[in-house]
């Protein structure tokens, strides 16, 4: 009887040691790629409801999955700026692509400066809400004015100031809203002294057709618009910096970054990665060629050598 009692105690001790070893292994033994003591986590990447923002969000998601152990849920095409911003602040998503000018001017109603000043102010303002703006992607999707290549060469146009000198002989065709907003044509007209022969308001899609057909000579545009590449338009330089910068970059919750610090290094691999011209082509691949956003985003990262094919 004494031998049996000792055997039970020994078996119980061995079982306890085995359970402890299994628990320790589950808690910390299987982590890698910086996932931390909590093991593989999950984050949600969101985006606004236009092609460029969705492409940038999908690039971030692909890169995170390739470089970390994190699982990434994609919530693209959420809606306009306020929808994505609200989802981030409510922790419904943990990061998404945003623009410095939108943060400073739209969300906090403050004056923007040049690119460096706006980036610094963006980070200062976001810190108050426990948010972080990482390194910009390289694109500045700001408002601009564009002309056909033929018009640019004929009149030797490179800047807004150049355009102002010959504006009396030209027809301006822009979005209806652009004609009336203080940060649109009225502001440009006052700063540069532009006085066009005629000013036409029209829908966004029609204004590109109009300049391509020669019905208008000048149009407003976003610097990374797909239609700029499609119609071979020339973007003029805003030499007096009327329009605020809209430098794109990842905006992420501070708590998420503290929980998964590896995300900063991973996402900063996209720092300065994309030029305005490259973004125009990526947008055109989707909007004009009909390619899927997921395919375009992934292939771009492969071409840049950031992920494997």
Confidence of residue 25 (pLDDT cuts 50, 70, 90): very low
Q: Which segment of 7-21, 62-76, 108-122 scores lowest on mean pLDDT?
A: 7-21
pLDDT at 205: 77
- Specify the pLDDT at position 19: 43
pLDDT of amino acid 37 = 34
* Chain-centre distance for alpha carbon 206: 26
Mean predicted lDDT score pLDDT of the chain: 88
Is 95 within 8 Å of 46 (Cβ atoms)?
Answer: yes
What's the confidence (pLDDT) of residue 30?
A: 34
- Please determine, for residue 209, whether its predicted confidence score (pLDDT) is greater than 50: yes
Strand partners, 133: 251
**Kind plus residue range of the DSSP H or E element containing 150:** helix 149-155
How far apart CA 267 and CA 48 sit, in angstroms, is 18
Q: Which has the minimum average pLDDT: 93-107, 150-164, 174-188, 220-234? A: 174-188
- The set of residues, in sequence order, having a beta carbon less than 8 Å from that of 134 and lying 6+ positions away, is 249, 250, 251, 252, 264, 267, 268, 271
**% of residues, the chain, pLDDT over 90:** 80
Length of the chain: 309
Secondary structure percentages of the chain, helix, strand, coil, to 5: 50, 15, 30
Q: How far out from the chain centre does Cα 38 lie? A: 29
* Token pair in block for residue 40: 């593989």
What's the mean pLDDT in 66-89? 96
pLDDT score of 181 = 77
> Mean pLDDT throughout 104-114?
92
> What pLDDT score does 300 carry?
98
pLDDT at 289: 96
In this prediction, residue 288 carries a pLDDT of 93
pLDDT number for residue 40: 77
Supply the angle between the helices 293-303 and 51-67 in degrees, to the nearest 10. Answer: 60
Residue 11 above 60 pLDDT?
Answer: no
Most confident option among 4-13, 153-162, 168-177: 153-162
The 3-state DSSP class for residue 12 equals helix
Residue range 23-50: average pLDDT? 60
Q: What is the pLDDT of residue 120?
A: 98
Q: What is the pLDDT of residue 4?
A: 38
Phi, psi of 98 (to 5 degrees): -135, 175
Kindly tell me the burial class for residue 197, based on how many C-beta atoms sit within 10 Å of its own C-beta (0-12, 13-18, 19 or more). Answer: exposed
């Amino acid at each position: 009887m004494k031998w049996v009692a000792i055997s039970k105690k020994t078996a119980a001790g061995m079982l306890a040691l085995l359970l402890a070893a299994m628990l320790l292994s589950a808690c910390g033994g299987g982590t890698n790629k910086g996932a931390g003591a909590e093991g593989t986590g999950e984050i949600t990447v969101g985006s606004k409801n236009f092609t460029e923002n969705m492409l940038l969000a999908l690039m971030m998601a692909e890169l995170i999955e390739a470089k970390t152990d994190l699982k990434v849920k994609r919530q693209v095409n959420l809606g306009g700026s306020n929808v994505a911003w609200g989802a981030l602040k409510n922790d419904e998503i943990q990061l998404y692509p945003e623009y410095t000018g939108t943060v400073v001017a739209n969300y906090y109603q403050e004056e923007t400066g040049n690119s460096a000043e706006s980036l610094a102010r963006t980070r200062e303002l976001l810190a108050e809400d426990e948010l972080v703006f990482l390194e910009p992607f390289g694109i500045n999707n700001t408002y601009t004015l564009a002309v056909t290549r033929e018009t640019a060469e004929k009149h030797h146009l490179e800047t807004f100031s150049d355009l102002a000198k010959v504006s009396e002989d030209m027809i301006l065709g822009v979005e209806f809203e652009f004609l009336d907003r203080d940060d649109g044509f009225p502001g440009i007209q006052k700063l540069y002294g532009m006085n066009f022969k005629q000013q036409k308001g029209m829908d966004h899609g029609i204004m590109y057709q109009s300049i391509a057909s020669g019905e208008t000579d000048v149009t407003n545009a976003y610097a990374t618009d797909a239609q700029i590449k499609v119609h071979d338009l020339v973007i003029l330089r805003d030499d007096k910096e009327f329009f605020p910068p809209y430098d794109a970059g990842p905006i992420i919750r501070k708590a998420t970054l503290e929980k998964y610090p590896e995300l900063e290094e991973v996402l900063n691999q996209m720092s300065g990665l994309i030029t305005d011209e490259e973004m125009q082509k990526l947008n055109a691949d989707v909007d004009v060629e009909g390619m899927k956003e997921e395919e375009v985003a992934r292939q771009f990262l492969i071409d840049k050598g950031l992920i494997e094919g």
